[in-house]
Chain A
């Protein structure tokens, strides 16, 4: 099932392979900055444009933008056979493979909205608890676009074990990183549902989507489970890093910790820490369903529903305000829907790893 066929390994230009890893590096830096920023506001507080966590956000975005630009320029100037990755010609000149076009647009949007965010804070001040502002909404969506670009870039690869682990890690980063945009979107769109905690629905949808994506891309039980393992590493690493970095940074610039600062790692409740268990169950479900020849779409919808239940139970248990029954029902519906959607997206993304017949290559995917 998910054993690779290596005899006729697809050729992906080296620039795209390196570009994918650089995209991931950039996003990992960005996510680290974002998690550290949240911890900093909670434990210490003062904000300006140039705090160390903010610098990580900008550096991460810069790495993503420059990586995408480099891959597009190298693709434009490249000689030899065209890449098998679906590409578009931009401004009649630039040859842009889709993942890097999307990533570049996301990084550009990120920078533009960061500029508007600076204006917003000049007018309204640095309110760290105002809820969603227009500029933060735009920033969150742009970062989500960068996340999708990272997943697309690894969806193209999947040829070697390290590339598939790269996909698992990309999915883990995407799962934690999607909390921002999915949380904001659900709070804006679904707050009218009576008794329902909208954030639960957004985060449940994000987890269902990413888990279903990796199951659909790899078609094997190992990789959803591997994504769960990678998630433990990402969340655990950030949970160790953010509070320690916050204490160190506060000491370095002579800021006292807040009264009532918990110092506990916020990232552990930023996305349900129980998600990896569901990823393991998803792996088991895929193995079982494949052996029995069950249809994948209902299985993915079921896994999505389970992610929704997990999210609702986790946040209910830590005291988020909600009507548990109403939130559970809504989370099951949204989770099942995004589980279904994730598989459909994976079907289309798998085409990214397949050469078109006109390119004269045989499609060999595991």
Chain B
């Protein structure tokens, strides 16, 4: 960090794969009490708010680090994933009684696990193709019903 203080970043999965969720914890030297931690997660394509999460408090693009829900003595992000493969940049700002420190951590996200996404999507969508065809066919066949009903409130 800028003033030679340290922040320890831990991961529940290693190596980090794109799209695979994990927990991060962040522990500044001296603990989190009385300090505010901010992290800006910059994606490989340059999106400065690249990490989405539930109930994240933001200050501009930065995430105001919450305590980890199951490790309350440190800051943490639980079950988040890095959506893009490549090198991410985590830019830290820690505000404390001794002033503000900053630091940058490059994080490499390797290829996502599992089969190619296009294949997963195709398998998930294929069962709906006959449903769509049936609906279109039914809609055409029911044309006479719709026409016969006539444009009235009492029909």
Contact = CB atoms under 8 A, between A and B. Distances in A.
Nearest to B115: A123
Interface in B65-85: 66-67, 69-70, 72, 78-81, 83
A225 to B, nearest CB: 16
Nearest to B75: A259
Interface stretch (B2-10, B19-27, B40-48, B96-104): B19-27
B81 A41 contact: no
B15 interface: no
A256 interface: yes
- State which size class the interface on B falls in: 35 or more
A42 interface: yes
Contacts of A41: 54
Contacts of B64: 260
B35 interface: no
A292 to B, nearest CB: 10
A129 interface: yes
Which 10 A-B residue pairings sit nearest by Cβ, starting from the closest? A127-B21, A134-B124, A125-B21, A259-B66, A290-B153, A123-B114, A347-B149, A260-B57, A134-B120, A127-B81
29 contacts: A41-B54, A45-B79, A46-B70, A46-B78, A46-B79, A120-B120, A124-B112, A124-B113, A125-B13, A125-B20, A125-B81, A126-B21, A129-B81, A130-B21, A131-B52, A134-B121, A134-B123, A141-B128, A219-B153, A219-B155, A255-B69, A255-B70, A256-B72, A259-B67, A260-B57, A260-B66, A296-B151, A296-B153, A347-B145
B153 A258 contact: no
B66 A129 contact: no
A99 interface: no
B54 A47 contact: no
A52 interface: no
Given A130-B81, A259-B66, A124 B153 contact: no
A348 B142 contact: yes
A256 B55 contact: no
Given A1-B154, A348-B145, A128 B54 contact: yes
A261 B120 CA distance: 34
Given A125-B22, A126-B21, A260-B66, A219 B154 contact: yes
Contact of A124 (B66, B81, B128, B154): B81
A1 B153 contact: yes
Contacts of A43: 55
Given A1-B153, A128-B54, 16 more contacts: A42-B55, A120-B114, A124-B21, A125-B13, A125-B20, A125-B81, A126-B79, A127-B19, A128-B21, A137-B124, A137-B125, A138-B127, A256-B70, A260-B66, A295-B151, A348-B145
Contact of A116 (B19, B117, B124, B128): B124
Interface in A210-228: 219
Nearest to A44: B69
A256 B68 CA distance: 10
A255 B79 CA distance: 15
B106 interface: no
Interface string A45-78: 1110000000000000000000000000000000
